[in-house]
Amino acid sequence: MLSKLEGKVAIITGSGRGIGRSIALKLASEGARIVVNDLDEEPATAVVGEIRAAGGEAVACTGSVTAAGFAERFVATALEHYEGLDIIVNNAGYTWDNVIQKMTDEQWYAMIDVHMTAPFRILRAAQPVIRGFARVDAEAGRRVVRKVVNVSSIAGLYGNPGQVNYAAGKAGIVGMTKTLAKEWGRLATTVNCVAFGYIKTRLSVVATDGNATARIEGRDIKIGVNPELMATVERTVPLGRGGSPDEAAGAIYLFCIPESDYVSGQTIMCSGGLTGI
Ligand SMILES: NC(=O)c1ccc[n+]([C@@H]2O[C@H](COP(=O)([O-])OP(=O)(O)OC[C@H]3O[C@@H](n4cnc5c(N)ncnc54)[C@H](O)[C@@H]3O)[C@@H](O)[C@H]2O)c1
């Protein structure tokens, strides 16, 4: 029996760690050929190695999704290596929190750039490519459905104090999803979105000393969540726990498989039932 995504070409941003890594491994395990992206070369190369070791196909395209020319290079990598483009997952991102009165323009634009402008540029660069493939498919009488899955957050749907920048970016991607679902229907491409609740990754680990940082886009960004807040969040989740990166990847996968070919413009929450923070 063929795997669900046999031969498909998937490009996934931020797939060196966390949820993106799990998405890359999941789609590869179902037969997709993967372009792995991350800001950091070492984790991206490691994920490519994991996929190849399991018998899959993958190549890395490292660099920041916010860099000029990145979108074109990302799409070109898929075409050069695999001569196709079937699935785009806009996953790369991080948080840079502060209450509004202390938030700088730099903090604001960093979140808008990574969560909104980068997906916009990637999808803009992909449009002529997908249009070309869709035309060839139509002329050959083939029905091939391509897939875009964007990543939002419960903060984008319901708001979260200290995250006006992040919440705005994550709400923006929902609007982008709905609009492109309407523009790209004629390209036989579905465009959907998954909004995560609390998923246990580097971004959301319990901060042991309160001072953990990660070097992201040339800045040291505070990461982690304080233990009391985390305990409250976990108690509030109807399923009673945070999700794993593999569970998060499962929700993305639902929008990549043929069973969702007639679902477009939707945002689903993958949050263990949590509907607000
Ligand atoms: N973990 C959660 O609870 C949670 C909740 C809601 C939404 N999200 C979203 O899920 C996505 C993945 O987050 P995660 O929890 O897996 O975090 P993570 O830090 O574990 O992984 C994110 C990866 O993206 C990469 N990245 C960050 N900025 C990048 C850039 N400019 N260019 C290329 N790569 C970049 C990082 O290097 C990292 O490897 C993000 O968009 C995040 O906002 C996560």
* Strand-by-strand arrangement of the 146-153 sheet: 58-60, 33-36, 9-12, 87-90, 146-153, 189-196, 267-270
Q: How far apart are CA 133 and CA 245, in angstroms?
A: 32
Which of 17, 64, 95 is the best mutation target for the ligand 1 pocket, counting ligand atoms within 8 Å of the beta carbon and taking the most?
17
Cα 53 to averaged position of ligand 1 atoms, centre (Å): 24
Q: What is the distance in A from the centroid of ligand 1 to the CA of 203?
A: 7
Residue 32 burial by CB count (10 A; 0-12/13-18/19+): exposed, middle or buried? buried
Buried b (16+ CB within 10 A) or exposed e, 40-72: beebbbbbbebbeeeebbbbbbbbbbbeeebbe
pLDDT tens, position by position, 60-80 = 999 999 999 999 999 999 999
pLDDT at 225: 77
Between the CA of 111 and the centroid of ligand 1 the distance, in Å, is: 12
CA-CA distance, 177 to 151, in Å (whole number)? 10
3 state SS of 204:
helix
Burial class for 238, CB neighbours closer than 10 Å (0-12, 13-18, 19+): exposed
* Token pair of 234 as six digits: 């976990």
Distance between CA atoms of residues 16 and 78, nearest Å = 17
The DSSP bridge pattern shows strands 9-12 and 33-36 to be: parallel
CB 23 within 8 A of CB 249: yes
State the DSSP H helix or E strand holding residue 124, giving kind and residue range, or none if neither: helix 118-139
Distance 94 CA to ligand 1 centre (A): 5
Tell me the pLDDT of the chain (277 aa) as tens digits: 679 999 999 999 999 999 999 999 999 999 999 999 999 999 999 999 999 999 999 999 999 999 999 999 999 999 999 999 999 999 999 999 999 999 999 999 999 999 999 999 999 999 999 999 999 999 999 999 999 999 999 999 999 999 999 999 999 999 999 999 999 999 999 999 999 999 999 888 766 666 688 999 999 998 877 777 778 888 899 999 999 999 999 999 999 999 999 999 999 999 999 987 7
Any residues with Cβ below 6 Å from ligand 1, and which?
13-14, 16-20, 37-40, 43, 64-66, 91-94, 114, 151, 153, 196, 198-199, 201-204, 216-217
Among the listed residues 155, 25, 34, 149, the one whose alpha carbon sits nearest the alpha carbon of residue 92: 149
Return d(Cα 194, Cα 252) in angstroms, integer: 7
| 9, 137, 259 from 142: Cα distances, Å | 17, 5, 17
- Active-site residues, by number, are 166
215 beta partners: 220
Report the nearest-CA residue for atom 32 of ligand 1. 64
